[in-house]
C-alpha cells in the first residue's frame, strides 16, 4: 500500500478551488472519497451494486434490502460480502489510476 502526500492533496484542493481557510485537505478528501466510491460502485456488477446502494447509501437493513429485491436475507448478506470485496479492489485501482497511491508492481 502507498501513502498519500499531504502536500499533493493541499495543491489539488487549491487547484479545485476548494476553500483554503478551513481544512483544504479534509475538503478534498471528502470530495474525492465520494467521487471514488461512486466510481467504484459503477464498476460493480448490477446484482452487487443494487444491494450495496440499498444498504450502504440508503441505509436499508438486510431485511429491507431482501424485501425490496424480493430475495432471501442470506442472499443479501452474501452479495454484500462480495460487494465489499469488489469495492475494495475497485477503490484501490481508482486510487492507483488517479495517482493517489503508487501502482503496485506485478511480477
The domain 6-97: what is its CATH number? 1.10.10.10
Q: Are the C-beta atoms of residues 41 and 88 closer than 8 Å to each other?
A: no
Q: What's the CA gap between 42 and 50, in Å, rounded?
A: 10
Q: Are the C-beta atoms of residues 38 and 48 closer than 8 Å to each other?
A: no
- pLDDT tens for each residue of the chain, 107 residues long: 344 555 555 556 666 665 555 565 565 556 667 788 889 999 999 999 999 999 988 999 999 999 999 999 999 999 999 999 999 999 888 888 888 778 876 55
Q: What's the CA gap between 73 and 21, in Å, rounded?
A: 47
Domain residues of the chain, as ranges? 6-97
pTM comes to 0.67
Amino acid at each position: 500500500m502507498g501513502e498519500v502526500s499531504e502536500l499533493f492533496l493541499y495543491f489539488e484542493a487549491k487547484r479545485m478551488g476548494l476553500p483554503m481557510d478551513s481544512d483544504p485537505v479534509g475538503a478534498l478528501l471528502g470530495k474525492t472519497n465520494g467521487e471514488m466510491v461512486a466510481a467504484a460502485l459503477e464498476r460493480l456488477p448490477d446484482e452487487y451494486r443494487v444491494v450495496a446502494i440499498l444498504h450502504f447509501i440508503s441505509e436499508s437493513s438486510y431485511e429491507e434490502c431482501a424485501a425490496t429485491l424480493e430475495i432471501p436475507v442470506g442472499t443479501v448478506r452474501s452479495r454484500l460480502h462480495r460487494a465489499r470485496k469488489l469495492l475494495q479492489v475497485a477503490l484501490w485501482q481508482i486510487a492507483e489510476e488517479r495517482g493517489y497511491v503508487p501502482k503496485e508492481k506485478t511480477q
